Amino acid sequence: MGKTVLIVDDSATMRQVVSFALKDAGFEVISAVDGKDAIAKLGVAKSDLIITDLNMPNLNGIELIKQVRQTPGHKFTPIIMLTTESQESRKAEGRQAGVSGWIVKPFTPEQLLGVVKKFIR
């Protein structure tokens, strides 16, 4: 069985694009529609890596990262921010929250997989 990646994005299209790229590379995929959904899914499923959007309803990416980092089983789980945001101030906010990597949309599947494979194999 492959490594499992949790994708968190309020855009169904983006979840689908990321999911296809990861599944084609042999990863198992769990999808969540926002941060609250992601927290619920992390409570019942193991995830080797999390890919999250920044701007989402209910619980944004930064708040999600902060909550994940306080969860004993996921304190050190790699988290990649996948967002249109590229400002240094937002990246600094992400680093402070505990993000492991940052990918700016639009991206290619090769870029995504290159970053993912830096964290899990």
Tokens (6 digits) for 116: 């993912």
Helical axes 61-69 vs 88-97, angle rounded to 10°: 20
pLDDT tens digits along 14-69:
999 999 999 999 999 999 999 999 999 998 888 999 999 999 999 999 999 999 99
This prediction has a pTM of 0.96
Distance CA 68, CA 88 (A): 22
Query: Is the pLDDT at 115 greater than 90, yes or no?
Result: yes
pLDDT in tens, 79-94: 999 999 999 999 999 9
Residue 112 in this model has a pLDDT that exceeds 90: yes
CATH of 4-119, one of 3.30.980.10, 3.40.50.2300, 3.30.750.24, 3.40.140.10: 3.40.50.2300
